[in-house]
Amino acid sequence: MQSIKALRKEKGFTQKALSDRTGIARSYICEIEMDRKQPSLKTLEKISKALSITADELLRREILSKSEYQTET
């Protein structure tokens, strides 16, 4: 999910810092950011809370970013 990576960087967090804030393994966060894993709603809620955004808004950003990517290709 590119929106997680973008927000994480916007907040100045490393994957390790986000891992520490969420209790989610850094390697799993990496897999999510690279679209290799699809996180559960519970995981998205933990990540969105750590990034100070609602899970709804996080998903909305992801949908928009994928929509923009498909329009460009």
Centre a 10 Å sphere on the Cβ of residue 43 and count the other Cβ atoms it contains.
Answer: 18
Tally of domains within the chain: 1
Of 1, 42, 3, nearest in space to 23 by CA:
42
Of 7, 64, 41, 63, nearest in space to 15 by CA:
7
Mean pLDDT across 32-41? 95
The mean of the pLDDT values for the chain is: 91
- Write down the residue that tokens 């460009």 correspond to: 72
Mean pLDDT across 23-47? 96
Question: pLDDT at residue 69 above 80?
Answer: no
Q: What is the pLDDT of residue 71?
A: 59
Cα–Cα distance measured from residue 50 to residue 65, given in angstroms and rounded to the nearest whole number: 21
Question: pLDDT at residue 33 above 70?
Answer: yes
Domain that includes residue 47, residue range: 2-72
Q: What is the pLDDT of residue 73?
A: 54
Mean pLDDT across 3-30? 97
CATH code of 34's domain? 1.10.260.40
